[in-house]
Chain A
Amino acid sequence: MTHAAAHHTSMGLDSRKMAFWAFIGSECLLFGSLISTYLVYKGKSLVGPYPHEILNIPFTSFSTFDLLASSLIMVLALAAVQRGDVRWAKIWLFGTAFLGLVFLGGQVYEFSSFVHEGLKIDTNLFGATFYVLTGTHGAHVTVGVIWLLTHWVQTLRGKMPTPMTVEITGLYWHFVDVVWIVIFTLVYLIQ
Chain B
Amino acid sequence: MTSLVIAEHDNASIKGATLNTVTAAAACGGDVHVLVAGHNASAAAAAAAQIAGVAKVIHADSETLAHGLAENVAAQVLAIAGNYSHILFPATAGGKNVAPRVAAKLDVAQISDITKVDSADTFERPIYAGNAIATVQSTDATKVITVRTTGFDAAAATGGAAAVESAAAQADSGKSSFKGSEIAKNDRPELTAAKIIVSGGRALGSSEKFNEVMTPLADKLGAAIGASRAAVDAGYAANDLQVGQTGKIVAPQLYVACGISGAIQHLAGMKDSKVIVAINKDPEAPIFSVADFGLEADLFAAVPELTNAL
Co-assembled chains A and B: no
Which residues does A use to contact B, with CB under 8 Å?
Answer: none
